[in-house]
Amino acid sequence: MSARLRLAFFSALLVPLVAFPILGLKLVTVGINLEIQGAAPLTWWIIAACTLGMFVWQLLRRRLAAGWASSPNLPRIPAGTGNFLTRPKTQRWGILALALVALVWPFFASRGAVDLATLIMIYVMLGLGLNIVVGLAGLLDLGYVGFYAVGAYTYAMLGEYYGLGFWTCLPIAGAMAALFGFLLGFPVLRLRGDYLAIVTLGFGEIIRILLRNLTEFTGGPNGISGIEKPTLFGLTFDRRAPEGMQTFHEFFGLAYNASNKVIFLYLIALGLVLLTLFTINRLLRMPIGRAWEALREDEIACRALGLNPTLIKLSAFTLGATFAGFAGCLFAARQGLVSPNSFEFIESAIILAIVVLGGMGSQLGVILAAIVMILLPELTREFSEYRMLIFGSLMVLMMIWRPQGLLPMQRPHLELKR
């Protein structure tokens, strides 16, 4: 009993220690000097109540937990469901169904929703790309946003300086990002685990700082604006067509609708996502895909079997970067402006969170997680300044609640009946 009492006292002591200085004493600048203002009495009462609550809870935790266990449970999800949902076959059908819905849906939705969906598609692509590197090959990459930036700036700069259009730039953006992935990957891939993480983080930051500092080429902090939207076989979606071009609505004799532009971009994004999914699915069945996963599981065994770890890692790294390049190109088109601010470390963190939350290696999981991670800040937009607070705590809670991810990956397998 005394041990539990001590624990309860200790825990109760922690609450005011943590809460009191930051919440209870507010630093206020008066004129040019700092002063301290006490918080409203309500805050004090809440802190006191939490302290007391913590004390009681720690004291009675065992008993409460026992009471909880004996109470009738909520109807539990049958054990088979989770297994069913994560089976590769189910996932394949799930993705197909999602794709169908995604194809029809935008024609009935509002502009804001379609635009948001485009953003989600961009993150799905980023997630799928990083999934190759982190989820399949097991390389922790914290600088993924760098390749995304390369893709976005490739389109922006080629458009700005050479007047190239979206469709020409899309493959170039992918290729440029792949080139960067290859060049950066080559020296660092022999590093292990967390050393690789910090080095890739460093690369991501270096790319961003260079973009910010090479003002003559990249526009510096202003970035590059006025990036053109994609066209449909030379038809633009603008209200009025520039010299020598025709607009979509004139060609088909429709009334001008600004949403068409957004829907078209969305459909391109959807198409690219489907292409990405298809490519990765094929690759996974090829020797190279098997080799990635083998490498993740046991590098030494791989080498013993005569696989070249550097080559395998490099292929994963490069391929991941390529998809980031495509996503970047799309992002530049959606945004109309690229600036270094869009490529900060937090983006890498969010993409990584999408992969981990989805369940590493799982593609349907990545799609779901991208939807969750991008919708969450938008849905909590009503809470204004509490928005990121909620986002941060939900990130922690989701990890605690489901550390294996929303829909973890399963290999196709057969079980023998006993």
Instruction: Enumerate residues 281-300 that contact other proteins by CB under 8 A.
Output: 300
Q: Which of 46, 85, 164, 274 binds other proteins (CB under 8 A)?
A: 46
Helix, strand or coil for residue 162? helix
Q: Which of 194, 287, 308, 311 binds other proteins (CB under 8 A)?
A: 194
Structure tokens at 57: 């809870």
CA distance 410 to 76: 22
Q: Does 366 bind other proteins (CB under 8 A)?
A: no
Question: Can you state the percent helix, strand and coil of the chain, rounding each to 5?
Answer: 75, 5, 20
Q: Which of 173, 356, 364, 407 binds other proteins (CB under 8 A)?
A: 356
For residues 311 to 350, the per-residue mask of contacts with other proteins, x marking binding by CB under 8 A and - elsewhere, is --------------------x--xxxx-x-xx--x---x-
Q: Taking the complex as a whole, how short is the minimal distance between the CB of residue 92 and other proteins, in angstroms?
A: 24
CA distance 260 to 248: 9
Per the rule left: phi > 0, alpha: psi between -120 and 50, beta: everything else, 23 is alpha
Q: Taking the complex as a whole, how short is the minimal distance between the CB of residue 280 and other proteins, in angstroms?
A: 19
For other proteins, give the closer residue by CB, 257 or 281: 257
For residues 242 to 261, the per-residue mask of contacts with other proteins, x marking binding by CB under 8 A and - elsewhere, is ----------------x--x
Parallel, antiparallel, or unpaired for β 235-236 and 246-247? parallel
Q: Which helix (H) or strand (E) holds 337?
A: strand 337-338
Site for other proteins in 91-130 (CB under 8 A): 110-113, 115-116, 119
For other proteins, give the closer residue by CB, 116 or 179: 116
Q: Is the C-alpha dihedral spanning 393, 397, 400, 406 positive or negative? A: negative
**Is 135 in contact with 409 (CB distance < 8 Å)?**
yes
**Is 184 in contact with 203 (CB distance < 8 Å)?**
yes
Question: How far is CA 55 from each of CA 9, 10, 12, 48, rounded to the nearest angstrom?
Answer: 6, 8, 5, 11
For other proteins, give the closer residue by CB, 203 or 317: 203
For residues 259 to 278, the per-residue mask of contacts with other proteins, x marking binding by CB under 8 A and - elsewhere, is --x-----------------
For other proteins, give the closer residue by CB, 222 or 282: 222
Judged by CB under 8 A, the stretch of 161-169, 172-180, 211-219, 268-276 that binds other proteins is 211-219
For other proteins, give the closer residue by CB, 99 or 395: 395
Q: Taking the complex as a whole, how short is the minimal distance between the CB of residue 369 and other proteins, in angstroms?
A: 11
Q: Does 31 bind other proteins (CB under 8 A)?
A: yes
Q: Which of 95, 140, 232, 302 binds other proteins (CB under 8 A)?
A: 140
Q: Does 205 bind other proteins (CB under 8 A)?
A: yes
For other proteins, give the closer residue by CB, 65 or 206: 206
Q: Does 308 bind other proteins (CB under 8 A)?
A: no
For other proteins, give the closer residue by CB, 34 or 74: 34
**Is 149 in contact with 208 (CB distance < 8 Å)?**
yes
CA distance 33 to 172: 55
For other proteins, give the closer residue by CB, 171 or 403: 403
What residues form DSSP beta bridges with 30? 33
Helices (H), 336-414: 345-358, 363-379, 387-401
